[in-house]
Amino acid sequence: MPISSTTTPHDAAPQPRGRGRASAKGLHTRQLVLDSALSLATRIGLEGLSIGAVAEAAQMSKSGVFAHFGSREELQISVVREYFRAFEQEVFFPAIQAPRGLPRLRSLFTHWMKRVAQEIQSGCIFISGAVDFDDRPGPVRDALAESAQIWLNAVTRAIAQAKDCGHLRADTDEHLMTFEIHGLILALHYEARFLQSPGSIARAELGFANLLQRYATAAAASLN
């Protein structure tokens, strides 16, 4: 089951007959614009997005971009949702193919690290967006915070399941462990992208291994 819920009643409503080709073309164009906006946002951040900048990147007119999104804010929110959709596809859905418990938790972290390895080069709009919008209430901040919280809730749920399976100690605080795992990812972004510190990825992986060693039960040893 997807961990996001971006489908709206409008999205699910049947389209009138005779408009299928036009609608498909419009959706295709909108996706091309959104791809350009997402690529731009990873480099300059959500705050740097504008109808004009995206129009130039997509090689379209400003009115063409505006026709698909209507406002800069709607464009920013759409980029957040598209970014999270890609995150789901690359991290969450592959990971839940692993058995519940420690195997799934490890898979979540492994796929998350693969995603981060890409973001070190391209940038992460959740991190840059948190800096730009942390003290700016509004729909864009809400979309960013909701996406991040949904993902952290999924990690917390995986930890709780690992406890239920007897792979993690019964006294494990799943919220604290999520905090520690998230801290490793944030530190990795800072060290690898900002400080360009060699060996950052290896240190993050070792940090996760140390966490598991601290929280895992003796029964989990057979899962290595």
Determine the Cα–Cα distance for residues 221 and 224; give it in Å rounded to an integer.
6
7 assigned to some structural domain: no
**pLDDT at residue 192 greater than cutoff 80:** yes
What 3-state DSSP class applies to 168?
strand
**How sure is the predictor about 12, in pLDDT bands with cuts at 50, 70 and 90?**
very low
- Whether 41 is covered by a domain: the verdict is no
User: Of the ranges 41-50, 102-111, 172-181, which one carries the lowest mean pLDDT score?
Assistant: 41-50
- For the chain, state the CA radius of gyration: 20
Q: In this structure, is residue 144 part of a structural domain?
A: yes
Decide if 173 contacts 156 (C-beta within 8 A).
no
pLDDT at residue 13, as a whole number: 37
Q: Structure tokens of 44?
A: 């300059």
Cβ–Cβ contacts within 10 Å for residue 24, how many?
11
Asked whether residue 94 is assigned to any structural domain, the reply reads yes
Q: What is the CATH number of the domain that holds 208?
A: 1.10.357.10
- What mean pLDDT, rounded, does the chain reach? 88
Task: Give me the amino acid identity at 114.
Answer: K
Q: Would residue 22 count as lying in a domain?
A: no
pLDDT at 3: 44
pLDDT at 36: 93
Number of separate domains in the chain: 1
Residue 37 lies in a domain: no
126-150 pLDDT, tens digit each: 999 999 999 999 999 999 999 999 9
| 39-97 pLDDT tens trace | 999 888 899 899 999 999 999 999 989 899 999 999 999 999 999 999 999 999 999 99
| CA 176/CA 68 separation, integer angstroms | 42
